[in-house]
Chains A and B, each alone.
Chain A
Amino acid sequence: MTSIMFLKVAYIVAWLIYLGYLARILLRMKAVESERAELERTSARNAAASPLTR
């Protein structure tokens, strides 16, 4: 492998890691948001069905 190849690999590896990490954060954010929305829906449904709130 020539030194130019090492240079190219270094820049590609760096960007793959940074973009991969960014994607991981965004996916986890989306998962947390949907879990929170689901929890709120379940809580609202159960509160409506509860005899105490009727």
Chain B
Amino acid sequence: MKKLVPLSILVTVALLGITSYFALLVAPTEATMGDVQRIFYYHVSSGWVGMLCFFVNFVASIVYLWKRSPGSDALAAASAEVGVVFTGVLLLLGMLWARPVWGIWWTWDARLTTTLVLWLIYVSYLVLRRFSAGGQTQVLAAAFAVFGFVDVPIVYMSIRWFRTQHPAPVIGGGENSGMAPGIAHVFILTLVAFTLLGAWFVWLRYKLATEEQALESAHAQAALKGVA
């Protein structure tokens, strides 16, 4: 295990370096959008990791409501925070792509709006965890997370259900969807590298959350003994 940690860090950093090089310099230039299309690799990969984190948060919240285990609560908090960071990057990169391609930074179309709502739901979740007082914070947050996750499939399906300005799905979008092989290979590599990065962030944040829980209980014990 001790050797696995530095090895997996090395693999993640190397993969991120390689994918960035391939995305910026090796992948073929898209015919209609030109070089700015290369934002797609980071944009979609960040979105994928964000949704994955919200799924982990959803499962961990259900486990917490069922078992009341502090570990599942720590995992729920960690995955929600990492999900907010990755979804924030998704939104920002989307805006930086939209300005040169559409001529506008933002439009209230179904995909963009549902994604912004999703981001706000999980920001509210983190605010609730941070500022709610009393012993029911974890239960409230877990219940909130279970309902909040409803927006994830809506975000995914929004470009299939509605006619949107956002590009049509390139994966699983029907007969005319798909990518050129050169673009698809770089995209898959970027997806793997970002998934590893997201997993690392969740693991680190989970460790921090468990250490904070331990510190909190140490403070409580010290207060009970009257030595704090």
Contact = CB atoms under 8 A, between A and B. Distances in A.
A binds B: yes
Interface residues of B, number: 36
Interface string A26-50: 1011001101100110110011001
Contacts, number: 88
A42 B227 contact: yes
B197 A43 contact: no
Interface string B93-122: 100110110000000000000000000000
Where chain B touches its partner, the secondary structure class is helix
A16 to B, nearest CB: 10
Contacts of A28: 208
B113 to A, nearest CB: 21
A7 to B, nearest CB: 5
Contacts of A36: 211, 214-215, 218
Interface in B199-228: 201, 204-205, 207-208, 211-212, 214-215, 218-219, 222, 225, 227-228
Nearest to B225: A43
A6 B34 contact: no
B46 A3 contact: no
Interface string A1-32: 11110110111011001100110011011001
A3 B208 contact: no
Contacts of B218: 36, 39-40
A33 B205 CA distance: 14
Contacts of B33: 3
A52 to B, nearest CB: 10
Interface of A: 1-4, 6-7, 9-11, 13-14, 17-18, 21-22, 25-26, 28-29, 32-33, 35-36, 39-40, 42-43, 46-47, 50
3 tightest A-B CB contacts, nearest first: A46-B227, A3-B36, A3-B100
Given A3-B34, A7-B38, A36-B211, 6 more contacts: A11-B42, A18-B85, A32-B208, A35-B215, A36-B215, A43-B225
